Amino acid sequence: MERENFGSKFGAILATAGSAVGLGNIWRFPVEVGKNGGAAFILIYIGCILLLGMPLMLSEFIIGRHTQSNATGAYHRLAPGTPWKWVGRLGVFAGFIVLSYYSVVAGWTGKYAVMAIGNQFAGAEPEALRTMFNDFASSPLEPLVYLLLMLVLTHVVVVMGIEKGIEKCANILMPSLFVIIVVLVVCSVLLPGASEGLAFMLKPDFSKVDGSVVLSALGQAFFSLSIGLGCLCTYASYFKKTTNLTNTAVSVITVDTLIALMAGFIIFPATSAAGMPLDSGTMGPELIFITLPHVFQQAFAGLPWLAYIFSVLFFLLLIIAALTSAISMHEIVTSYMKEEYHMSRGKAALVETAGCVVIGTLCCLSFGVLDDVRIMDRSIFDFCDWIVCEFCMPIGGILISVFVGWYMKKQWVKEEITNGGTLRVRLFPLFIFILRYVAPVGILLIFLDQFGVFKAI
């Protein structure tokens, strides 16, 4: 049976960009910018994207398209009978765990979109918003309903296949995401008092830069592109042989970085307009579900109807970002189950969805009835996130760079980048050098820094 492919180059780019663009772009990036000094961090981040993100993304593209196989099957084909197959299995495992706990947060965005439509944030003070979020997250039933809803939506798209499901969905969701985020940026930057937030994003202060800021930028660049999870490799296996891998990587990185920057241009001008500190270091769920609803109400205090529209659009934006990433995570495991165990796409997707419902339910309940359950002094949700972000992704990234840089035949690598010699790639030696020496060291520093083995000055 002939393997599926993306129907067009544009569809392939949008789908792959959608796999990278997720909730991390909307909240993790602004959090890192806020903690690390604003514009100076952004410039370092862009440099890290080019230095580390681009070569590693290309590496996953090369592995995926060369083998036309799932994340595990790719290593079976390139290195039969060797332990390299565990790199693919690590990616499949990580993709499964990510989708399980990511769907919990995706469900929260669905709930908050409903609340925004119902105008439930109007007049609410931060403590009321905090109580609102805590009551919802700790509920034993309602978050599970939204978790199941997001998983079912993801399941339906994946079952429909590559061209008719994933690509068609990306062709609708990604332009919609871009339109919404442009509207929100325009509204935010035009607010009275937005200038301080704009300056924070645009005027670098390098006096605040130290080793920890550089490592944070390196880590954000790595995690933003979903490197080491197997989704880039899996999506690349559906690329046509005529696809220009370098141009596709540049396009995906451009979209991903642009969305992250635009999220900053939504959050920081609105925050300064609301008279709130730009570098509070507010993290993840607290930023999105407690701080920002209050910020939007304060920023548009004189125009309550605009505060309403802004809130609705913002949470619709989060749903789209969550869904595009969730689809890619689902496809990693579905593709693996389908090809390695010779299942139909529908059955493979059902196995994946059922597994995610089980683990996702445990993660969901860890905010309520299972709050006392601890694994290495972490809640179930935090433990799943910790395993993926601090182990699977950096280890996977190092192994991918070593595999393509040292193990894979140079001829195969060059054939993929040049499309069989039909494209000119002048920086190929630099690409190999980065994979062999720069990328492994950079990722290793992030890994060691996370565990306190190495500390930036």
Q: State the residue for tokens 């597994």.
A: 355
User: pLDDT for 379-424, tens place per residue?
Assistant: 999 999 899 888 888 899 999 999 999 999 999 999 999 999 899 8
Work out the percent of the chain whose per-residue pLDDT is above 70.
97
pLDDT, position 206:
85
Q: pLDDT higher for 245 or 31?
A: 245
pLDDT, position 455:
60
CA distance 349 to 331: 8
Task: Tell me which of 79-88, 146-155, 202-211, 339-348 is least confident.
Answer: 202-211
172 CB-near residues (< 8 Å, 6+ apart): none
Q: In the predicted model, what is the mean pLDDT of residues 334-356? A: 95
Per DSSP, the three-state class of 92 is: helix
Does position 223 have pLDDT exceeding 80, yes or no? no
pLDDT, position 365:
96
Backbone phi and psi for residue 193, each to the nearest 5 degrees, phi listed first? 90, 5
Tell which residue, 314, 365, 403, 412, has the closest CA to residue 101: 365
pLDDT confidence band for 31 (50 / 70 / 90): confident
pLDDT, position 2:
65
User: pLDDT for 146-159, tens place per residue?
Assistant: 999 999 999 999 99
| pTM assigned to the model | 0.92
For helices 245-273 and 54-67, the axis angle rounded to 10 degrees is 140
Length in residues, the chain: 457
Residue 331: exposure state from Cβ atoms within 10 A (0-12, 13-18, ≥19) = buried
User: pLDDT for 362-372, tens place per residue?
Assistant: 999 999 999 99
Tell which residue, 321, 138, 331, 134, has the closest CA to residue 230: 331
Q: In the predicted model, what is the mean pLDDT of residues 28-40? A: 85
CA distance 163 to 12: 9
For helices 211-224 and 439-450, the axis angle rounded to 10 degrees is 110
CA distance 295 to 422: 52
Distance of CA 123 to the CA centre of its chain: 32
The first and second tokens of residue 222, run together, are: 């790595």
Backbone phi and psi for residue 456, each to the nearest 5 degrees, phi listed first? -65, 145
pLDDT, position 456:
54
Tell which residue, 37, 43, 41, 30, has the closest CA to residue 268: 30
pLDDT confidence band for 292 (50 / 70 / 90): confident
Q: Is the Cα dihedral 81, 86, 87, 89 positive or negative?
A: positive
Q: What is each CA distance from 249 to 172, 225, 237, in whole angstroms?
A: 21, 10, 14
Residue 156: exposure state from Cβ atoms within 10 A (0-12, 13-18, ≥19) = middle
- CA dihedral (19, 237, 8, 316) in degrees, to 10, reads -10
Q: In the predicted model, what is the mean pLDDT of residues 264-277? A: 86
- Backbone angle region of 116, left / alpha / beta, with phi > 0 → left and psi within -120 to 50 → alpha: alpha
pLDDT confidence band for 198 (50 / 70 / 90): very high
pLDDT, position 36:
84
CA distance 96 to 331: 10
pLDDT confidence band for 454 (50 / 70 / 90): low
The first and second tokens of residue 120, run together, are: 């439930």
Per DSSP, the three-state class of 378 is: strand
